[in-house]
Structure 1
Amino acid sequence: MTKHVDAVSELAENVATPFERAQAMPVSAYTSEDFLALEQSEIFSRSWLCAGRADALKKPGDYMTIEIAGEPIIVLRDREGELRALSNVCRHRMSVLLEGRGNVRTITCPYHAWTYSLDGSLRGAPAMEKNDSFCKNDVSLPAIRSEEWLGWIMVTLDPDLPSVTETLADVDTLVGYLNMGDYVQTFSEEHRWNTNWKILAENFMESYHLPMCHAGTIGGASKLQDMVCPEGFPGFNYHHILKDDSVPLALAHPSNTALQGDQRRRTWLLAIYPSLMITLTPGYFWYLSLLPDGPGGVKILYGGGLSPEYMNDPKAEEHFAALKGLLDHVNEEDRGCTERVWKGLQSKFAKPGALSHLERPNYEFATWISNKVSAK
């Protein structure tokens, strides 16, 4: 029996237990190279993944690059102002075309200067006139499926997936009253942590760790008895917390008269499968979009911003500075906690323990992963 079958079987057995007696995921689900290969082929290659916020690509030619399951991709704003995603591999000798982020008028290969328009069509190819098989009009960068959803850029390698709007309609039902698409991104960064991608995802999904792990920041505003962890939906799980005024930005801005009662202080934590984690408050949002980098590494697109009311406040810069300082501190606390879990998983004594009722999202996440990899 191969290693990946062992991990798949162990996880399937793990999630077959009812939630009331549930245990954390088995060690092999985090540490097995073969299991990660299955996740790449059965999950990341077949899911909608987040490339960040649409307002990060404002002008024609603005672009960013990502890599999904080893596939290099360009996400850009074309000349007509539409978002599109393209293969980031030259159609000549297969060099990667663009790196990082920036703005371009055309996409020019750094190897032999083949040049593509922002719609992916080949614009120029030097010194090709003597090859009779070459026709410029027959060459273009393959398109990758992309959609804008509530302000997010979503991409997938799967041509047959239902649309994001259809798949995640229940998200809008839950939090549509906050108009997430109107929030304004104020920062975006890329990081890499030494932990498994699922450890970080699970850390986001439960707030059981807040009072301890985040004692220096938001822990005091998070009461375990006030946390609600309902059953999730097929494409995501969620929980929510009522915040006090110790973090003022988490509350609705005084000028917002549309939100009433607990709506003005409810924080939502949405885990969009497989790897988009969104914290949404009446005053700000922040997110992590995760891609695995080996069993013990995770690449993180980390960003956030403010609600329209806070952006329009005369003290917007102060609000942003306060938000960024808080989120960076929270992130560092999470990094410490999740990297310690990865280190602990290397122990011969590592063994999954029982889950709290506040970790229902983790159980649902494990079940979702098991269903995906078991279908192989």
Structure 2
Amino acid sequence: MTSHDKNLSPTLSPAAELAANVAVPFNQAHAMPKSVYTSPEFLALEQERIFGRDWVCAGRAESIPEPGDYVTIELAGEPIIVLRDRDGTVRAMSNVCRHRMSTLLEGRGHVRAIVCPYHAWTYNLDGSLRGAPGMTLNEGFCKSDVKLPQVRCEVWQGWVMVSLDPDAPSPEVQLAEVAGLIAPLDMSAYRQTFGQTFRWNTNWKVLAENFMESYHLPVCHAGTIGGASKLEEMVCPEGSEAFNYHFILKDDSVPLALAHPSNTQLVGDQRRTTWLLAIYPSLLITLTPGYFWYLSLTPTEDPGQVDVMFGGGMSPEWLADPAAEAHLAKVRALLDDVNIEDKGCTEKVYRGLQSGMASPGSLSHLERPNFEFAQYLARRVAG
């Protein structure tokens, strides 16, 4: 047993263990305690105090371009519809019928109206009740009194952000520093061209941390992107209370990761810098001058599973290139292979967390973002 292990009493709650874990300088830091990943008690705190209060991403606004286009998510146990209404506004609302409380829509798609699959109560795209069959003899029923509860929803830099907390600071305010960092790239102008959802057998924080550090790239991604990133050139600056980040200077092995020749705004290293942005709690964005890809994570009721929204697209200059489709196909194939590698690595980590002999080790200087993420989690679960 290490001295670090002895300092964490088995009688401490997972939240107390995490608080002790981050109460040291970064150069003495260890990985988070196992209980933070495996404990149902800690997951319940996360659902209440993190996913029930912070802004969570429901994808890109351009992925629901037309009135009636929608996507569904679950946030801290609340089923939610995110859609574009008749006026072109992106809004969020409860995905539960106001009659007998069936969920309404599933997955993503397009509707002219929201129809309950149980009794066909029908809602307009703003959530107001349009029709309720068989209710004419109920004298106490008034259709105009019924509306799906609305949920806070804002579009920030092209991302659809949703929060259950009516008092959460706007993303425009909370993430102003992020917007300033990547201002030369104008993230709002990029366009998503592909996306999917999947579930992996690991804890959501294992996958989030995997994104936050590039220390694993040469080994976990030896078959794909590992050779294109130079760890010695990687910079991991201090983040903020709302996000962390690091950046990598890329070579020309993936042309789409570089600025398009027609782009005259980016200069010097800006033309080959890849930004890795971890926006708390769970929006993870890789942004290059040519393309982007992202993961938006939500925990399930099982600490050992995570639901993942995955997508990507290109910058305006590359989208206008005659060879854009061919370039994107290559990058999409590459990212599919990268996902396979990440799935294998992160699921192995979660299996390892079940071991009685496992204990958190010291962090590398390349894992500063992970330590800052642990500090964020400790602040949130402490209330």
Output the TM-score relative to the length of structure 1: 0.98
Matched pairs, number: 373
SS in 2 for 1:190: strand
> Equivalent residues in 2 for 1:276-355 (5 A)?
276-293=283-300, 294-355=302-363
Structure-2 residue corresponding to 1:212: 219
- Cα deviation per residue 1:322-352 (whole Å; 9 max; x = unaligned)? 1100111111111111000001011111100
For the Cα contact (< 8 Å) 1:4–1:34, is it kept in 2? no
Residue type of the alignment partner of 2:230: K
Query: In structure 1, what is the equivalent of residue 37 of structure 2?
Result: 30
Q: Does 1:8 align with 2:15?
A: yes
2:172 is the counterpart of 1:165: yes
Structure 2 matches for 1:92-171, cutoff 5 A?
Answer: 92-171=99-178
- What displacement does 1:85 show? 0.4
CA RMSD, Structure 1 to Structure 2 (Å):
1.0
Aligned to 1:373: 381
Tell me the distance in 2 between the aligned counterparts of 1:145 and 1:225: 42
Partner of 2:62: 55
Q: What aligned pairs does 1:181-260 form with structure 2 within 5 A after superposition?
A: 181-260=188-267
* CA deviation vs aligned residue, 1:139-165 (integer Å, no higher than 9, x gap): 000000000000000001001101110
Matched AA of 1:362: N
**Partner AA of 1:110 in structure 2:** P
Which residue does the alignment assign to 1:363?
Answer: 371
Deviating beyond 3 angstroms after TM superposition, the runs of 4 or more aligned structure 1 residues are none
Q: Secondary structure of the residue that 2:346 maps to in structure 1?
A: helix
Kindly indicate whether the alpha-carbon contact (under 8 Å) linking 1:213 and 1:334 is maintained by their aligned counterparts in 2: yes
1:129 & 1:4 partners in 2: Cα distance? 60
Distance in 2 between residues matched to 1:180 and 1:37, nearest whole Å: 34
Q: CA deviation at 1:6?
A: 1.2
**Structure 2 residue 52 is matched with structure 1 residue 45:** yes
* Residues 357 and 195 of structure 1: CA distance in aligned 2, closer, same or farther (over 3 Å): same
Q: Distance in 2 between matches of 1:125 and 1:215?
A: 58
* 3-state SS in 2 of match to 1:249: helix
TM-score by length of 2: 0.96
Secondary structure of residue in 1 paired with 2:244: strand
Q: Give the Å deviation of 1:246.
A: 1.2
**Taking every aligned residue pair, what percent have the same amino acid on both sides?**
68
CA positional deviation for 1:5: 5.8
How many angstroms apart in 2 are the aligned matches of 1:8 and 1:40? Answer: 13
Q: Deviations over 1:36-63 (max 9, x none)?
A: 0000000000000000000000111001
